[in-house]
Amino acid sequence: MFWNETTSLLRPSWQPFFANHGTKMKPSYSYYMPRTLATLLDGAQPEEVSFEIDTKHDLLQKHAFSLPQGNRLLAVWIAEQSRKKRLDDYQGVKATITISSDAPERIVGIDLLNGREQELAFSVDGDRLIVHDLIVKDYPLLLRLEY
């Protein structure tokens, strides 16, 4: 469960709600990611989905969920908490994801900051789906498998 109160004075000091982006006052960027996650994970249940990533990064995190509509959601990121400062230009790790699953009709990548979606190209090798050349960074990359 995610809690985000736009008018609360109890939020942590590191998460200001309002920020001056140019000449417009609007919610800080930190507001949008929990909002998008809450929407995407509504009704989601943890599920065992076998998928592998071809990187040897020690801090790689990966999780899978089933969604109420029968789709699946995969989340992948590098949990580099040791960095003292997050960098927008962090290069991430290029990876290939291999998923052992029933063949979905589509695989959709989801941008957590604004909820935009993009259909991804994938290939099928027997009962495995392969998505090439993904960039995994220090925030969740979400892939929705649509059946």
- What CATH number is given to the structural domain containing 127? 2.60.40.1180
Q: Residue 144 has what pLDDT? A: 94
Rounded Cα distance, 91 and 103, in Å: 31
Is 60 a domain residue?
Answer: yes
The domain of 77 spans: 45-146
Residue 59 inside a domain? The answer is: yes
**Domain-located, residue 18:** no
Does residue 140 sit within a domain?
A: yes
Residue 63's identity, in one-letter code, is H
- Tell me how many domains the chain contains: 1
Give residue 26's pLDDT: 59
Residue 22 lies in a domain: no
Residue 74: per-residue pLDDT = 93
CB–CB of 18/9 below 8 Å? no
For the chain, 147 residues long, give each residue's pLDDT as a single digit of tens. 445 555 455 555 555 555 555 555 556 666 777 888 888 899 999 998 888 887 666 778 889 999 999 999 999 988 766 555 555 667 778 888 898 877 788 999 998 877 889 999 999 888 888 999 888 887 788 999 998
Residue 49 domain-assigned (yes or no)? yes
Let me know if residue 29 belongs to a domain.
Answer: no
Report the distance separating Cα 49 and Cα 52, nearest Å: 10
Q: Say if pTM beats, i.e. exceeds, 0.85.
A: no
Sort strands 141-146 and 106-110 into parallel, antiparallel or unpaired. Answer: antiparallel
